[in-house]
């Protein structure tokens, strides 16, 4: 499910600046609704990563999102929808994806308390940490634990076989 929300949120909000401006930037552009969605998010939440110059690491995370996370989310969504039982390869991809996604989001969550207190109240910061960014850390974190457990079970020797050898 997380891969689904991720594959929807990224192209509608996060990745819009990567598209050619003629596609979205003006009201008469063919994909102007993307600008409207992005502006709605910015107006509603005043997210500083979208409204003001942001730390240089945020640009790196955005490039990781474009190059790896979005394609991986689409791949995993396809695999989860088409495989009756996940394969080891899918579980490994999901582990790498979820760890990367959780850690980049955790960096943003960690940064929130340091935002300017004259602009963001404590309540707003808590909302960013728990409602806006929190699920994008928690869900991949749970997914990482799940995928690790599946891979561990898949790769660990069978205890009954080792007892038979003794």
Give the per-residue pLDDT at 166.
43
Instruction: Please state the pTM of the whole predicted model.
Output: 0.82
Per-residue pLDDT of the chain (166 residues; tens, 9 = 90+): 455 565 677 888 888 888 999 999 999 999 999 999 999 999 999 999 988 788 889 989 989 999 999 999 999 999 999 999 999 999 999 999 999 999 999 999 999 999 999 999 999 999 999 999 999 999 999 999 999 999 999 998 876 655 544 4
Map tokens 């050619």 to a residue.
20
d(C-alpha 131, C-alpha 123), whole Å: 11
Map tokens 């940490």 to a residue.
129
Which residues are CB-neighbours of 136 under 8 A, at least 6 positions away? 6, 101, 105
Which residues are CB-neighbours of 147 under 8 A, at least 6 positions away? 91, 92, 94, 95, 98
């Amino acid at each position: 499910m997380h891969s689904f929300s991720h594959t929807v949120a990224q192209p509608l909000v996060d990745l819009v600046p990567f598209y050619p401006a003629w596609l979205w930037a003006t009201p008469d552009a063919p994909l102007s609704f993307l600008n409207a969605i992005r502006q709605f998010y910015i107006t509603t939440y005043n997210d500083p990563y979208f409204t003001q110059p942001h730390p240089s690491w945020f640009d790196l995370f955005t490039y990781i999102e474009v190059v790896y996370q979005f394609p991986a989310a689409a791949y995993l969504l396809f695999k989860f929808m088409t495989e009756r039982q996940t394969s080891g390869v899918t579980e490994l991809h999901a582990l790498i994806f979820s760890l990367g996604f959780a850690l980049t989001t955790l960096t943003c969550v960690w940064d929130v308390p340091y935002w300017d207190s004259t602009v963001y109240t404590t309540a707003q910061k808590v909302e960013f940490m728990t409602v806006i960014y929190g699920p994008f850390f928690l869900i991949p974190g749970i997914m990482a634990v799940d995928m690790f457990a599946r891979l561990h079970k898949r790769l660990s020797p069978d205890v009954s076989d080792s007892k038979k050898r003794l």
